[in-house]
Amino acid sequence: MIYRTQVGIVGAGPAGLVLGHLLHLEGIDSVVLEARDREYVEQRVRAGVLEQNTVNLLDEMGVGERMKREGLVHEGLELRFGGRGHRIDLAGLTGGRSITVYGQQEVVKDLIAARLEAGRELLFEVEDVELEGVDTEAPAVAFTHGGERRRLSCDVVAGCDGFHGVCRDAVPEGALTHHEREYPFGWLGVLAEAEPSSDELIYTHHDRGFALHSMRSPSITRLYLQCPPGEDVGEWPDDRIWEELNTRMELAEGFSLHEGPIIEKGVTPMRSFVAEPMQHGRLFLAGDAVHIVPPTGAKGLNLAVADVRVLSRALARWYDSGDESGLESYSETCLRRVWRTQYFSWWMTSMLHRLPDDRDGFQARLQRAQLDYVCSSESAARTLAENYVGFDSVEAPG
C-alpha cells in the first residue's frame, strides 16, 4: 500500500498540533505521529502562560472557545523582593496587551479534539521513528504502529518532537550548530488544590532562591521553587514545600499562601539551547526540538507556536504557487524571535534566581539594582512588559 501525505509531522505537542490544524485550514494534508498515548499528552503538566499572539492565533484557528471561557486574562504581574511587592502594569505599559493563563495540557486537549473532528490522521504510541531522505525531494518517515512497520512518504517533514526527539539528530553531523547554556539550578513545580493567593502571578527573588506563584483556575494554584538541578522530589515532602514557599514569598506586612493538597510534583532542569539553522533540506524543525528557553519568561510554548505559524504560511504559499521563498527564509525569520526570546528568558532568569557561585554577593547586588530599576523606571518596566506579553513580529532593524 502506498502511504503518503503532504506534510509528515513528528510530535503531538503544541508545535505539531498547531501546525497540523493550520495546514488543515489551508486544505493541506498531514499525518501527526506521537510516541506517547493520548491520555499522557493530555495530562502532562507544563507551561501555563499564553501570549496575546498565541491567544489570537488559537482563536482565529477556531480552537479558542474553551480558552476564552476558562482562561484567566492577566493585565499585570507582581515582582516581589526585599519583603515588598511591585506591580508591573502589563496592559498599561503595552497599549492594552495582556496574557492568558490556560494550561498547556488544556491547549493540547482542544487541539486533539479539533484534529479528530477534522478527520485528519493522528497516531499515538508510534515507535522507532526514523527519517529517510530529508536531503531529497521525497523524504519519508518510517515508524512502527500496532506492531506493524510503516513508511510514510511526504513532501516535507516537520520535526516537532521536543528536545528529546529524533528529528534534530536526523540532520547530518556538522550541518547544525548548537548553542547551549545549562543553569546551576532547576525548578520544582507543584500543582495544589488551593485557591490562588493573589489574582496575579508573583515572581519572587529571595536570598533562599526564586519562587513563583501562578494558577490554573480559581481553585488550583501552580507554584515553583528554585532547587538544585536534578533534585529528587522525594526530598520535598508537602510541609517543606509550603514552608519554603512562605519563607521566600514573605512580605513586610505579612503574607501566607492559601494551602491545600499537592496533586502533582516535578523537577524541570533549566537550559538555554538553540540549534541553527532550523531547516535541513526538506526537514523543518520547530519548537523545543530546536530551541529551549529557561521557563522564567514563560516563553517555551509561545515560541513553539510562533515557529509553526511561520512554517504553515510558508508551506501554504509553496503549495499554492510554487513560491519557495517563505520556506527558504523560515529559519532566518524564526531565529530573530528565538534569539530575542532567548535574551529575555536569560535576563529574567539571571535577575530573579539565587546564583550559587556568588560568594561575595556581587551578583546579588547587581540583581537587586536591576530589580529596583525595573520597579522604579517606567522605561525599564516597559521593556519587561513588552517582552513578557510578546511582540507582534520581531523585525530586523531597517
Examine residue 390 and tell whether it contacts ligand DHB (CB under 6 A): no
Which range, of 9-17, 116-124, 311-319, 371-379, touches ligand FAD by CB under 6 A? 9-17
- In angstroms, give the least distance from the CB of 63 to ligand FAD: 15
Length of the chain: 398
Q: Which three cell numbers stand for residue 266?
A: 516535578
**Interacting partner of 15 out of ligand FAD, ligand DHB, none (Cβ under 5 to 8 A depending on kind):** ligand FAD
* Orientation of helix 330-352 relative to helix 378-389, angle to 10°: 130
Q: How many CB atoms lie within 10 A of CB 183?
A: 20
Interatomic CA distance for residues 182 and 270, integer angstroms: 6
Helical H segments across the chain, by residue range: 14-25, 38-43, 52-60, 65-70, 90-93, 104-118, 238-248, 300-321, 325-328, 330-352, 362-374, 378-389
Interatomic CA distance for residues 295 and 345, integer angstroms: 7
Examine residue 215 and tell whether it contacts ligand FAD (CB under 6 A): no
Which has the closest alpha carbon to 158: 276, 324, 30, 303? 30
Q: Which three cell numbers stand for residue 57?
A: 492565533
Examine residue 161 and tell whether it contacts ligand FAD (CB under 6 A): yes
- In angstroms, give the least distance from the CB of 165 to ligand DHB: 21
- In angstroms, give the least distance from the CB of 140 to ligand FAD: 14
Q: Which is nearer to ligand FAD, 28 or 290 (CB)?
A: 290
Pattern 224-243, ligand FAD, x by CB under 6 A: --------------------
Examine residue 302 and tell whether it contacts ligand DHB (CB under 6 A): no
CA 330 to each of CA 24, 327, 356: distance values in angstroms, whole numbers, following the listed order: 20, 5, 39
- In angstroms, give the least distance from the CB of 168 to ligand FAD: 10
User: By CB under 6 A, what part of segment 48-77 binds ligand DHB?
Assistant: 48-49
Q: Which three cell numbers stand for residue 107?
A: 491547549
Q: Closest residue to ligand DHB, Cβ-based?
A: 48
| Interface with ligand FAD (CB under 6 A) | 10-16, 33-36, 41, 46-47, 104, 126, 129, 160-162, 165-166, 268, 287-289, 295, 298-301, 304
| Interface with ligand DHB (CB under 6 A) | 47-49, 201, 212, 214, 222, 295-296, 298
